[in-house]
Amino acid sequence: MIEERENRAEMEKEVQENWNRLKEFEERFTGELNLLSIKLRKNQIEQFYKYFELLIKWNEVMNLTAITEMDQVITKHFADSLSIVKVVEDIGTKDYKVLDLGTGAGFPGLPLKIAFPQLKITLMDSLNKRLKFLEEVIGQLGLEKIEVVHSRAEDAGKDIKYRERYHICVSRAVANLSTLSEYCIPFVQPGGYFIPYKSGKVQQEIEEAKNAIFLLGGKIHGVTEFMLPGTDAERALVQIEKVSNTSKKYPRKAGMPGKEPLK
C-alpha cells in the first residue's frame, strides 16, 4: 500500500513537471511568434512541444543537433525556420508545394508544416537515419500532405517526379550559395523561388554566386537581413526567383557542385 502511494505520488509529480514545462515552452514560444506576427492554435503549439521532446530524445542516440536547450531550440530552430514569413507573406494561406532540401532534423520544413498545415511539404535528405526520425515525428504529430524522400540532390534534381515541381525550395544546409543553388534551383518551377537561409554577412557570397544563379535559370530578387531575437546571430533570407527552365546539364553528377562550384 505504501509503495503504491509512493508510485502514485511520483507519477503525479512527473505529470505536474511535464505540465509546467509545457507552459514554459508555450509562453516562450508565443513571445517569439508574436515578433513574427504568427498566431498558432493551442494544438499546434503542443505539436511543436512534442517535436521538441522527440528531437531531444532521438538526439541521445544520433547526431541531429548541437542545440538542445529549450530556449535555444525555440529561437534557433523553430522561430528561425518560421522567419520565412518575412519574405513570403502569403505562406499562411496558399497551398504552396515546398521542398526542404538537406532537411536534417526537419528544419525548416517541419516547423513550416506544423505552423501552416495547408502547405504540401517534401523533406529530402541523403542520410536515411535522419529520415527515420522525421517519419517518427510526422506519425506522432499526425501530419498530412508531407512526404520524406531519401535521395541526393544531384539524383532527385534529374528526376521528373521532382524536377521543376515546386513553388518554393528552402534550405538551411551549410554550403556556399553557388553550390546550394545548383542543388536547389532545378527543383523550382519557373515563377517560383529558391529561398536559402544564410548566416552572417552574405553580400560577397551573393556576388560570387550571381553567374551560377543566372546559368541555372534564376535571378536575385532580394535579400532580407535580420538578427535572431535575443542573440547576436545574423541571418539572411535570399530570394532567388526562377525566371527560366534549368538546362538539362544541371545539376551535374554527384559531388561536382561541391567540389567545383559554378562560377
The string of pLDDT tens digits covering residues 96-128 is 999 999 999 999 999 999 999 999 999 999 999
Residue 231: pLDDT band (50, 70, 90) is confident
> Residues, the chain, total?
263
Residue 232: pLDDT band (50, 70, 90) is confident
DSSP type of residue 199: E
Instruction: Name the maximum alpha-carbon separation found in the chain.
Output: 76
Residue 10: pLDDT band (50, 70, 90) is low
* Residue whose entry in the numeric block shows the C-alpha cell 535575443: 230
How far is CA 59 from each of CA 55, 97, 114, 133, 262, rounded to the nearest angstrom? 6, 29, 20, 10, 35
- For the chain, domains (ranges, CATH) are 2-246 (3.40.50.150)
Residue 206: pLDDT band (50, 70, 90) is very high
How far is CA 228 from each of CA 36, 72, 78, 233, rounded to the nearest angstrom? 11, 11, 11, 6
Task: Tell me the three cell numbers of residue 174.
Answer: 551549410
Average pLDDT, the chain: 93
From the list 191, 196, 195, 180, the residue with the least C-alpha distance to 242 is: 191
Residue, of 6 and 90, whose pLDDT is higher: 90
Task: Tell me the three cell numbers of residue 236.
Answer: 539572411
Residue 92: which residues within 8 A CB-CB, separation 6 or more? 38, 85, 115, 116
pLDDT at 200 (0 to 100): 83
